[in-house]
Chain A
Amino acid sequence: MWEAIFWGAVLRVIQAALQAAPFLFTGLCIAAILHRLLGMEGTRRLFGSNSIRSLFQAWVIGMLLPGCSLGVIPVVKQMRRAGLAVGTIFAFALSSPLFDPLSLLYGLTLSKPETILAFALCSLLVVTVSGALFDRWFPQTETPGEELPPTPPGIKRLLAMLVMMARETVSDSMAYMLCGLLGVGLLSTLLPHGSLMRTMAHDNPYSPLLMTVIAIPAYATPMTAMGQLGSMFQHGNSIGAAFILLALGAGMNCGLLLWMLRHYGLKKTCVWLILMLIVVVGLSYGIERPLYPTDIQPADHTHAFDIYCCPFAEVPFGGYLAEIARRLKLESQVHELAGGGLMAALILGGLALRRLDPHRTVEAWLNQPPSEALQPAWDVNVPAPVLAAAGFVVILAGSIVGCFAYYPPPDETIAELNIARTEALGAALSGDKSHALHWIPICENWTRRLQVGLFLRRGELSDYHRMKARIFHDRLELLEHMLEDGAQQPDIRRQVNATSRAFSRMAHAFLKE
């Protein structure tokens, strides 16, 4: 049992770290832009401070830029350095991880897209109400740091950003990020395998409160949270709990809380947290009935929260380490591995700088102005704020391009789905339960991506396509439960046939109609 708990926590922390890696890298890029290009004055101008308008500005910027609750830590550090008020800093910190273009598209193709829009508006209400009250009660929270000398234009300016990013990965920011990741391990330690499966029912008044307890230490990327929301809508779970999952599960983590505790003290942290919890939990109970979908049959269970529980119910075949390696190999996605690689390179660079250059002579050299004679006449100096704006546009454009790559056109998605379906259904027929249970969630994921891919390219997703995808998804899910329950082979065969037919109909609808 102890082994299962320990190795379960290890697996959950590594999975969360891999999911976070691309967002950590993006967060470091944004922090470097603020630090080296925009400077303190530019950052203050971008976000504003200590006003309702600044809260709204921070919410809009947070919504536009891709990020997660761990990736915002280096960004909020720069915002604090620039002398912004706590309300503004936390308006950005809370809103940035909630949505990004990828997850927003995903959300808008769920059965009730208006629910997602309502969630976005509720999040605006949370950050403006709690931020405005906090800034009113504690008006003097702006503590500007020392403005750095501007780095001369050219390649040195870009190198200075890289150096800043590398140093940040071995600074206190990384310690807070690790604390955030350890929260995931803690949850997995406390929650036995599958223990949240029958929770978060719509008719259980404690669902939002239970979600609050779980969501604060939990860590979810915007896409993970949106996927969980989709599953909650589909299973008829509590809408209030879903909102809390988004607001706190995606928006908050232990590392961010510790950062606030260290920089603003216990009193201010508690006041802000209580204020925010009152608004979030109050809103969650307020939206429970009006936003609850009426056209679904509630199921009394969900697998959406399994990722917060211990992953091991029994000793895996081949041992824990082999199972962890197998799962990581099978489940890790390309963008996670790429993000992990970039973060590893930055950490190595940061460690080398820390060891070889503790007095920051590299930064001093980078800040030296170049000789006038060496600068060619055609080499125009681009002002740093313009470069910063271009940097933000590139990040935003990158996330839009990422949407098209992550949600391919239907023909490509159907081809991928066909492979996954063959694996899942073939394994179900041959009695290879674990193989089938591995591939079924992959099929479900591709089914969602199929719908978003069509929405992205046609600008709409018809009820017809939505229904065809839903039927295939439902068939897959029922097959998954039959396998878990150890159903008889003739029943499995019947369900496999039904699932295959649903796939053919869905493929025909998406490719031909």
Chain B
Amino acid sequence: MCSWGRTVGLLVVLTAAGGCSANTSPPGGGSAGSGAQGHVSPPHKPESFFSAVSQLPSRLDANREVSAASAARRELLDIIRWLPELAADTDLSRAEWEQVQRLTGDLERAVSSSPPDWAAARTRVDELFPLAHRADVLEQRSGR
């Protein structure tokens, strides 16, 4: 009786769960990188805040010619949205982090608008650079 019930329980779970893991894709549509038990780290996720900001100018340039639905645009937006999280993983102060958050919001709006405001986006990235450098210096100073 119990083994029958357990089989039914498991069947219900497996039927309802069927295919869910296969359908889960990381933001940006890229393939998932290695991660423990499904905690996927997309391959385009930068290692650090400094690395993320550093690659923004070239990504902005590369995105000027592509459509809004392209993988390159999705990846760019992913990186922009990760900036506050990556900045929080540094020793930047609260005021500096809030500046990153504000600039990120402006940057995302500039890139997402139709048509994108590339000049405004570039200005925001330039404003992010001193913060990224400072985060990098603090990281090196703490010997990590």
Q: CB within 8 Å of B: which residues of A?
A: 2, 5, 187, 189-192, 195-196, 198-201, 203-204, 206-207, 209-210, 213, 236, 295, 297-301, 462-464, 467-468, 470-471, 477-478, 481-482, 484-485, 487, 497, 501-502, 505, 509, 513
Q: CB within 8 Å of A: which residues of B?
A: 2, 5-6, 8-10, 12-13, 15-21, 23-24, 26-27, 35-40, 42, 81, 84-85, 88-89, 91, 93-94, 97-98, 101, 144
How many Å from the CB of A465 to the closest CB on chain B? 9
Within the assembled complex, what's the spacing in Å between the Cα atoms of A79 and B38? Answer: 48
How many Å from the CB of B4 to the closest CB on chain A? 10
The reply to whether A464 and B94 contact each other, CB–CB distance below 8 Å, is yes
The reply to whether A191 and B9 contact each other, CB–CB distance below 8 Å, is yes
How many Å from the CB of B20 to the closest CB on chain A? 3
The reply to whether A191 and B10 contact each other, CB–CB distance below 8 Å, is yes
Within the assembled complex, what's the spacing in Å between the Cα atoms of A201 and B21? Answer: 8
Contacts of A200 in B (CB 8 A): 17, 20
The reply to whether A298 and B13 contact each other, CB–CB distance below 8 Å, is no
Q: A5 contacts which of B6, B17, B81 (Cβ < 8 Å)?
A: B6
The reply to whether B98 and A206 contact each other, CB–CB distance below 8 Å, is no
Q: A210 contacts which of B6, B16, B93, B101 (Cβ < 8 Å)?
A: B16
Contacts of B37 in A (CB 8 A): 299, 301, 481, 484-485
Contacts of A5 in B (CB 8 A): 2, 6
The reply to whether B39 and A478 contact each other, CB–CB distance below 8 Å, is yes
Residue of A nearest to B78 (CB): A297
The reply to whether B16 and A204 contact each other, CB–CB distance below 8 Å, is yes
Contacts of B39 in A (CB 8 A): 299, 477-478, 481
What are 18 A-B residue pairs whose CB atoms fall within 8 Å in the complex? A2-B2, A5-B2, A189-B2, A190-B9, A200-B17, A204-B23, A206-B15, A209-B16, A295-B81, A298-B24, A299-B37, A301-B37, A301-B38, A464-B98, A467-B85, A470-B88, A481-B36, A481-B39
Given contacts A297-B42, A467-B85, contact A482 B27 (CB under 8 A): no
Within the assembled complex, what's the spacing in Å between the Cα atoms of A209 and B17? Answer: 11
Within the assembled complex, what's the spacing in Å between the Cα atoms of A257 and B6? Answer: 23
Given contacts A297-B26, A481-B36, contact A464 B88 (CB under 8 A): yes
The reply to whether A501 and B16 contact each other, CB–CB distance below 8 Å, is no
Contacts of B12 in A (CB 8 A): 210, 213
The reply to whether B144 and A501 contact each other, CB–CB distance below 8 Å, is yes
Contacts of B88 in A (CB 8 A): 464, 467-468, 470-471, 505
Q: B13 contacts which of A2, A210, A464, A477 (Cβ < 8 Å)?
A: A210
Given contacts A190-B5, A299-B39, contact A198 B27 (CB under 8 A): no
Within the assembled complex, what's the spacing in Å between the Cα atoms of A196 and B91? Answer: 38
The reply to whether B20 and A204 contact each other, CB–CB distance below 8 Å, is yes
Given contacts A189-B2, A297-B27, A464-B97, contact A198 B17 (CB under 8 A): yes
Contacts of A192 in B (CB 8 A): 6, 9-10
Residue of B nearest to A509 (CB): B94
Within the assembled complex, what's the spacing in Å between the Cα atoms of A429 and B10? Answer: 36
The reply to whether B17 and A505 contact each other, CB–CB distance below 8 Å, is no
Residue of A nearest to B5 (CB): A190
Within the assembled complex, what's the spacing in Å between the Cα atoms of A207 and B23? Answer: 13
Could you list 12 further interchain pairs (A-B, Cβ under 8 angstroms) beyond the known A300-B24, A502-B89? A189-B2, A189-B9, A200-B20, A298-B26, A299-B37, A300-B20, A464-B94, A467-B84, A467-B85, A467-B88, A482-B36, A513-B93
The reply to whether A206 and B24 contact each other, CB–CB distance below 8 Å, is no
Contacts of B89 in A (CB 8 A): 471, 502, 505
- Most chain A CB within 10 A, of B18, B20, B35, B93, is at B20
Contacts of B91 in A (CB 8 A): 505
The reply to whether A198 and B20 contact each other, CB–CB distance below 8 Å, is yes
Contacts of A497 in B (CB 8 A): 144
Within the assembled complex, what's the spacing in Å between the Cα atoms of A513 and B98? Answer: 12
The reply to whether A198 and B21 contact each other, CB–CB distance below 8 Å, is yes
Given contacts A203-B23, A467-B84, A478-B39, contact A196 B13 (CB under 8 A): yes
The reply to whether A478 and B36 contact each other, CB–CB distance below 8 Å, is yes
The reply to whether B21 and A300 contact each other, CB–CB distance below 8 Å, is yes
How many Å from the CB of B24 to the closest CB on chain A? 4
Residue of B nearest to A497 (CB): B144
The reply to whether A203 and B85 contact each other, CB–CB distance below 8 Å, is no
The reply to whether B84 and A463 contact each other, CB–CB distance below 8 Å, is yes
Contacts of B6 in A (CB 8 A): 5, 189-192
Within the assembled complex, what's the spacing in Å between the Cα atoms of A298 and B25? Answer: 8
Within the assembled complex, what's the spacing in Å between the Cα atoms of A198 and B15? Answer: 12
Within the assembled complex, what's the spacing in Å between the Cα atoms of A203 and B22? Answer: 10
The reply to whether A297 and B40 contact each other, CB–CB distance below 8 Å, is yes
Within the assembled complex, what's the spacing in Å between the Cα atoms of A464 and B91? Answer: 12
